Amino acid sequence: MPDKIHQGQNIRRFREMLNIKQETLAHELGPDWSQKKVSLLEAKETIDQELLEQVAKVLKVPVKAIESFTEKGAATYFNTFEEGSSNQGNIGDNGTYIFNPIDKLSEALEENKRLYNQLLQEKDEKIALLQKLLDKK
């Protein structure tokens, strides 16, 4: 019997693996979202496809991962490391999409660094512009 997939719990799992708070996810999803709304979303067993795609994009995980992740699949995946198997990024025995969460975390951290550097550059540009305006006066 196939494992029952709870998409809301899967969103919560991925959000927690990426160390993202509900408030942060709500902010990224847009002005209509709040921490409470994210909490209610994570309680839903099935989620509308369009919303699922939006959340997956914010979390930077494949929609398929949220749709098919199971505890059994995760255990199978992580157990393959002990056996010396390299099954990363493949479909598991039970049809569950599996990937290395450490890679996803690394990607998120790199994206954060890129955005931080972009913010610093924009700040420096604004300071230079303000300095020019002050010099003219």
Provide the number of structural domains found in the chain.
2
Let me know how many helices (H) and strands (E) the chain has, helices first: 7, 0
Is 61 in a helix, a strand, or coil?
coil
Give 52-79 pLDDT, tens digit per residue.
999 999 999 888 888 887 765 544 444 4
Claim to verify: residue 83 and residue 62 sit in the same structural domain: yes
Instruction: Output the domain CATH number for residue 19.
Output: 1.10.260.40
Residue 108 contacts residue 60 (beta carbons within 8 Å)? yes
Give 10's Cβ-side CA count (13 Å radius): 28
Q: What average pLDDT does the chain have?
A: 80
Claim to verify: residue 43 and residue 57 sit in the same structural domain: yes
The answer on pLDDT for 39 being more than 80 is yes
Residue predicted with more confidence, 33 or 85:
33
Q: Of 38, 46, 3, nearest to 20 (Cα)?
A: 38
Q: Determine the pLDDT at residue 104.
A: 78
Query: The domain containing residue 122 runs over which residues?
Result: 101-137
